[in-house]
Each structure stands twice: as structure tokens, then as C-alpha cells.
Amino acid sequence: MKGLRRVSAVAITAGAVLTAGAFTASAQAATTATPTITAQGGYVMNNGTGKSLFTKAADTRRSTGSTTKIMTARVVLAQPNLNLDAKVTVQKAYSDYIVDNNWASSAKLIVGDKVTVRQLLYGLMLPSGCDAAYALADKFGTGSTRAARVKSFIGKMNTTAKSLGLTNTHFDSFDGIGHGANYSTPRDLTKLASSAMKYSTFRTVVKTKSTKRKVTTKSGGYRYMSWTNTNSLLGSYSGTIGVKTGSGPEAKYCLVFAATRDGKTVIGTVLASSSVDNRTADAKKLMNYGFTK
């Protein structure tokens, strides 16, 4: 009887080990299963190797909303002999543009204030200021009129897209409020963001949760401008280092995202998600998945 009990105990123990192993295996399978996202398009890659880790309609052209501003910043940062401390006077045209466009998000720039290029980049990327985008396009485009300078700047955005091999990308605006020909894809936007992240100023700006900046007023005094990042991944997803939100009637809810854990950086994009919460959830799912690959 003692021998039988011993054999039974061994069998039970072995069975428990096998069962535990099966649970572990199924748990691992669950964590590495290809995620389902609500966004109509998605893409994730290993930023170090460029390897694709997830695709969903990754090459389908869609409206991009304010994720367009990644290219706005990228064009500015690539300017030869760029002086980030150069001052730009805020024009009435920039604030009028906000009033005229219902979907325009604002950095709340004040007419007559003198702000630096660096401050404009914060105003562009944190609160997603279309007024800041306009100011940068006006500053870094070429031409004798504001309209010519803006057209020139958008031309630089498209030239940069071509130079980066973004074959499914085209811009007709400096901020994402398009006129029928402002589009990109999850794969192209991810490649664009990866390129922009090579600039230290861009990396510093897009990982900033909030900032307070001293600007010079028209009368020569000063005021402080405070901006908070629209990217809720900062502070809610460990390792997040950027990048940019976007939204609009056609674009729905978009997010270009990046995070680093244990020396590995994953970067990606979701386009046309159904809500702010869902785009954030989609991004988290894709980063979790990317870190397992």
C-alpha cells in the first residue's frame, strides 16, 4: 500500500508540474498573441533595427490630423545654421487662423509677443498649436509674402518626405488641417517620427509633459506661457519618450508613439482610432506586443 501511495503521489506531482507548465505556456502565448486594435491602421517597428513588428493596413493612405506637425518640426530642425533662440514676433494672422478654423488647436500665442524658435517647437508639439505651426512656416519658408512663404514651407515638407522615401505621404498644410491632399500611412509616419527622433531637440520636446516658458511682450516686458502635452502616454506608460497626437473630422483619432525599455525602443503609429481613450489603448497594446518580439 505504501508503495502504491508513493507512486500515486509521484503521478499527482508530475501531473501538477505538467499542468503548471501548460498554464505558463498558454499565459506566454496570450501575452505574445497578435493584438487587435480599434484603429483602422497601425504599425510598429523596432527603432534600432527598422524591423516591422506589427502591421494593419500599414500602407493605406489616411488623413493624419496633427501628427502632420512631426514633419513641421522635422523641416525646422533640418534648417542649416538653425538658431533655436532666434525670436519670432507673433502676427495677427496666426491668431486669426485659429479663429477661422474650428478644429485648430492653439498654443494661445499673443499678438506682438516675441517668442523663440525653441519655444515655438514646444508650442507646436505639446498643446499642438496650429498658431505655432503657422509661425514656423512663415519664419522658415521663403518668399516676399506670407502666402508664398507658407507655400514654400509646405514644399519643403514634401521634399523631405520624398528624401525619406515616404512614398505614400503628401502634405498640403503645415499643421494637418488639410485641403484634400494631406495624407500619410502608419508605416510612413513611423519612419518620419524615427527620423525626427534623431534630433536631440525633438527628443527633448516630445518627451516633455508640461513646460512654462518666459516670452517677451510687445511692450518689452515678459509673460509666462504654460503648455501641457496632449500625449497621455507620458506618465501612464513606462518608458514613453514621445511622440504626437492627432485628430480631426476625417482623421478621427491618431497617435504616433515611442517607448524605450531595457535598451530597446519600439516606435509606431495608429490612425483613425475611434476615440482618445481607444487610440491610447491601441498604442499601449502595440508597444506591449512590440517589446515581446
Task: List the catalytic residues.
Answer: 66, 69, 128
> Which candidate, 63, 6, 106, 44, places its Cα nearest to that of 258?
44
Q: Look up residue 68 and give its three cell numbers.
A: 502632420
C-alpha–C-alpha distance, residues 255 and 268, integer Å? 8
C-alpha–C-alpha distance, residues 194 and 282, integer Å? 19
Produce one character per residue of 168-182: b if its CB has 16 or more CB atoms within 10 Å, e if not: bbbbbbbbbbbeeeb
